[in-house]
Amino acid sequence: MDKLLEVQNLNIQFDIFGTHVQAVRGVDLELNVGETLAVVGESGSGKSVTSKAIMGLNPSPPGKVTAGKILFEGQDLVQYSQKQMQKIRGKEISMIFQDPMTALNPTMKIGKQIMEGLIKHQNMSKAEAKKRAIELLSLVGIPNPDKRVDEYPHQFSGGMRQRVVIAIALACNPKILIADEPTTALDVTIQAQILDLMRDIQKKTGTAIILITHDLGVVANLAQRVAVMYGGKIIETGTIDEIFYQPKHPYTWGLLSSMPKLHAKIDKLLAIPGTPPDLSDPPKGCPFAPRCPYAMKVCLDHMPSYTHISETQKTACWLLDERAPKVDPPKTVGVGGK
């Protein structure tokens, strides 16, 4: 497959009140044309910071890229100025934010908000842009788009507002769509509708998607590949089947074990004990070691390198070292499956 985006050894630091927070530490990611890559992990793992870095949206100061590259079609976006990034945002790479009410301007008609990018990036006239805005509203399933194009965000439900945000993101036919927790603020029924919509749009447009989420149920329904992130690092990557059915990292086991499963006879939901690491003083070894029931001394002292399980799966865990004791995943992993 053709590689569209490549993140290499990305390091991002936030300088806050004299403290250096290492939010992202040596992240490597790849996105191919037309695929969906899910980046999963707990809050604070660095998912959103990584996605915003691709768009050049992390506030600077206090945030800054201290090392690494973000290659989009061979060009390093880290070296781009804000003026250069303005030509990329919306046109080549777009983003769906998790809260549609704050993503939309409450004082502007939604049609005008869709038209802005079309006028700026596609050089359309206002009449052409409005016609395209109506088409986009129809594409994302808004009824009576010719009338609703002149309404304000407060006149739409939460699910409809998220559809409007998707319409704005798709307006200029971007090559990459970053969806940052796109269904978090929505109820389960609307979540399913939004996911179906994104899947349908990808089939029609061929847009590659980076899905940022902590919800593995969302991942199972949309992604082809998964990157598991913890403590500012990517600790495991693989295809959707490899991550759901053959995970190798104890943190991935914990995430899968904590998923509700309809057909499993479990009295209570399982949770990962402990808290994520303090990235103002990042651990020397594996970031998950203090919470890992299988941790060894080497886990605390040294970060493991990747072990390649297959051509598509790699995992950073000392348990995969030939000298480590053999540990099988808990029985709760894979119950109910994908």
Parent domain of 165: 3-223
For residue 234, give the nearest of 217, 252, 216 by alpha carbon.
252
Question: Rounded distance, CA 269 to CA 86, Å?
Answer: 45
Q: Is the same domain home to 219 and 310? A: no
| pLDDT of 337 | 46
Name residue 12's beta-bridge partners.
24, 65
Q: Is the same domain home to 41 and 108? A: yes
Q: What is the dihedral of CA 218, 220, 226, 228, to 10 degrees?
A: 60
| pLDDT of 263 | 65
CA dist 215 to 211, 221, 258, 317, Å? 10, 11, 10, 23
287, part of any domain: yes
Q: How are beta strands 93-96 and 176-180 bridged, if at all?
A: parallel
326, part of any domain: no
**What does each of the 338 residues of the chain score in pLDDT, given as a tens digit?**
689 999 999 999 999 988 999 999 999 999 999 999 999 999 899 999 999 999 999 998 899 999 999 999 999 999 999 999 999 999 999 999 877 778 899 999 999 999 999 999 999 999 999 999 999 999 899 999 999 999 999 999 988 998 999 999 999 999 999 999 888 777 888 888 888 888 888 888 889 999 998 888 788 888 999 999 999 999 999 999 999 999 999 999 999 988 877 666 666 778 899 999 999 999 999 999 999 999 999 999 999 999 999 999 999 999 999 999 999 998 878 644 44
- Inter-residue long-range contacts of 257-265, CB under 8 Å, 24+ positions, other chains counted: 257/330, 257/332, 257/333, 259/216, 259/217, 259/336, 261/335, 261/336, 262/336, 263/335, 263/336, 264/332, 264/335, 264/336
The distance of Cα 52 from the centroid of its chain, to the nearest Å, equals 10
329, part of any domain: no
Q: How are beta strands 233-239 and 314-316 bridged, if at all?
A: antiparallel
Q: Is the same domain home to 102 and 162? A: yes
Q: Is the same domain home to 64 and 141? A: yes
| pLDDT of 266 | 63
Name residue 37's beta-bridge partners.
210, 225
Q: Is the same domain home to 173 and 241? A: no
Q: Is the same domain home to 63 and 140? A: yes
335, part of any domain: no
For residue 178, give the nearest of 144, 149, 213, 145 by alpha carbon.
213
Question: 158: exposed, middle or buried (C-beta count within 10 Å: 0-12, 13-18, 19+)?
Answer: middle
For residue 234, give the nearest of 70, 41, 95 by alpha carbon.
41
- Per-residue tokens: 187: 């109820």
Q: Is the same domain home to 185 and 44? A: yes
Question: Rounded distance, CA 118 to CA 113, Å?
Answer: 10
Q: Is the same domain home to 110 and 82? A: yes
167, part of any domain: yes
Q: Is the same domain home to 189 and 238? A: no
Question: Rounded distance, CA 45 to CA 196, Å?
Answer: 27
274: CB partners within 8 A, 6+ apart: 290, 291
255, part of any domain: yes
337, part of any domain: no
109, part of any domain: yes
Q: Is the same domain home to 175 and 259? A: no
CATH number at residue 173: 3.40.50.300
* Domain boundary residue, one of 207, 223, 239: 223
Number of domains into which the chain is organized = 2
Q: Is the same domain home to 176 and 250? A: no
- Rg (Cα) of the chain, in Å, rounded? 21
Helix, coil or strand: residue 329: coil
Place of tokens 């992240």: 27
Q: Is the same domain home to 103 and 151? A: yes
Judge contact between 292 and 284, C-beta under 8 A. no
| pLDDT of 308 | 97
pTM for this model (two decimals): 0.92
